Amino acid sequence: MRAEDSISPIVPPEEKQYSYLNLGPTHPATHGIFQNVLKMDGEVIVEAESTIGYIHRAFEKLAERRPFYQITPITDRMNYCSAPINNIGWHMTVEKLLGVEIPKRVQYMRVIIMELARITDHLICNAVIGVDTGALTGFVYMFQQREHVYEIYEEICGARLTTNLGRIGGFERDFSPKAWAKIEKFLKEFPEVLKEFEKLLVRNRIFMDRTIGVGGITAERALNYGFTGPNLRAAGVDYDVRVMNPYSSYEDFNFTVPVGTQGDTYDRFMVRQAEMWQSLSIIRQAIDKMPAGPFHADVPDFYLPPKEEVYNNMESLIYHFKIVMGETDVPKGEVYHSVEGGNGELGFYLISDGGRAPFRLHFRRPCFIYYQAYTEMVKGSMLSDAILTMSSMNVIAGELDA
């Protein structure tokens, strides 16, 4: 039931006076720079309008001047909660353009990293849903775990949030024994914390009352609005890029695609929660099946050689120079590649004219596409539910504005 139904009108609608509220751009409850102008009838939202673009950085324009390997750090800054998925998605797009075959080991290593990134993405979102319903405890527990994942990233690539992880063709180095140990430690410790977190919220009366039936959307509307990822699956559509168009050997792993039924905040929470368990299982499988082999593909024209090689080996020096100075030939072509990002189908539409930089690069950013449904979803709900709807949709400002 929507909130407006429960309020009996005291004054006839034509004599009603509405108040306007600017929610954002900088409001602690919006978790980012979003502005929503709300037309309010008391505490009920009558109409809403979103204004976005506060952290627009013109990535598509920037990309037109950058060689392919320098676009990776740009992709970091889109969905910064799961930056490695963006990095690897971009690398795979370029590899598709070049027609590079990637060794199995690299694909499995990528799967591990991408699933770790998915876990961090989902756990932030779910922890924040908890905060917005007034439960701060779970948030603190979950952020400690995110810290452990960031330590794994740090061990692998040296960075934490904006990772710039991997290279076109694979990884800059193999995972160190320390990195493997950290992954194992995380796999051992995280399930207990996740279970505890579920105990805090899943059957919690207050949490259920605040989230069930709040910010719901039907499957038809969600599809029409271009929803993808957990938000679409919460509405009951089992579209997952990992299953439908498997990339990076996702077809080798056993996992289920959790779906909801109502498409409301509680279902979005539960779908993300279930996906974290699936991700853990995928990582376990990837580690158990990890094949031996090289940690990068044999593409000397695009894969930056290791520094010690550059200083001691003539060929590597030449390749290094050619890559950095942009003297390698790129095929002309038009390619679309998508991966299942934290928030849904993250697509890269790349047109190459054979030059050093892309002729045109367009990012299909899931947040940008589904956030436009927000005004429709909050219409008729209470102000505090609007906050909850936003955090459960996991709108990331960086991805929204690119």
Partner 1 sequence: MESSKTDAIISIIRQEFDSEIVHIEQPYQLLTITFKPERIIDIIQFLYSHSELQFQFLTTLCGIHYPDQNQIAVMYQLHNLKTNQRIRLKIFLSADQPQVPTLTGIFSAANWMERETYDFFGVTFTGHPNLKRILNVEDMIFFPLRKEFPLEDQTREDKNDALFGR
What does the binding site for partner 1 look like in residue numbers (CB under 8 A)? Answer: 52-53, 56, 58, 60-62, 64-65, 96-97, 221, 223-226, 237, 239, 244-245, 325-327, 333-336, 338, 345, 347, 349, 351, 356-357, 359-360, 362, 364, 368-369, 371-373, 401-402
- In whole angstroms, the minimum distance from the beta carbon of 90 to partner 1 comes to 16
376 φ, ψ to 5°?
-70, -35
CB 89 to partner 1: min, Å = 14
Between 200 and 351, whose beta carbon lies closer to partner 1?
Answer: 351
Smallest distance, partner 1 to C-beta of residue 260, A: 17
Q: C-beta of 318: minimal distance to partner 1 in Å?
A: 15
Check if the beta carbon of residue 85 is closer than 8 Å to that of residue 342. Answer: yes
| Closer residue to partner 1, CB minimum distance, 37 or 208 | 37
Nearer to partner 1, 70 or 281 (CB): 70
* Residue with smaller CB distance to partner 1, 132 or 401: 401
Q: How far is the CB of 42 from partner 1 (least distance, A)?
A: 27
Burial annotation 57-68 (CB, 10 A radius, 16+ → b, else e): eebeeebeebbb
Residue 360 Cβ vs partner 1, minimum distance, rounded to whole Å = 5
Looking at beta carbons only, is 57 or 178 nearer to partner 1? 57
Closest CA to 214 of 385, 400, 353: 385
Angle at 215 between CA 209 and CA 217, to 5 degrees: 125
Instruction: Specify the residue, 221 or 284, whose C-beta has the smaller distance to partner 1.
Output: 221
CB of 355 to partner 1, least distance (A): 8
CA distance 144 to 284: 21
What minimum distance in Å lies between the beta carbon of 196 and partner 1? 36
- Give the shortest CB-221-to-partner 1 separation in angstroms: 8
Of 50 and 126, which has the nearer Cβ to partner 1?
A: 50
What SS3 string covers the chain?
CCHHHHCCCCCCHHHCCCEEEEECCECHHHCCECEEEEEEECCEEEEEEEECCCCCCCHHHHHCCCCHHHCHHHHHCCCHHHHHHHHHHHHHHHHHHHCCCCCHHHHHHHHHHHHHHHHHHHHHHHHHHHHHCCCHHHHHHHHHHHHHHHHHHHHHHCCCCCCCCCECCECCCCCCHHHHHHHHHHHHHHHHHHHHHHHHHCCCHHHHHHHCCCCCCCHHHHHHCCCCHHHHHHCCCCCCHHHHCCCCCHHHCCCCCCCCCCCCHHHHHHHHHHHHHHHHHHHHHHHHHCCCCCCECCCCCCCCCCHHHHHHCHHHHHHHHHHHHCCCCCCCEEEEEEEEECCEEEEEEEEECCCCCCCEEEEECHHHHHHHHHHHHHCCCEHHHHHHHHHHHCCCHHHHHC
Say which residue the tokens 């013109």 belong to. Answer: 58
Minimal distance, residue 289 CB to partner 1, in Å: 26
Which residue, 21 or 369, is less far from partner 1 as judged by CB?
Answer: 369
Nearer to partner 1, 186 or 371 (CB): 371
Indicate the residue among 270 and 350 with the shorter CB distance to partner 1: 350
Q: How many CB atoms lie within 10 A of CB 140?
A: 11
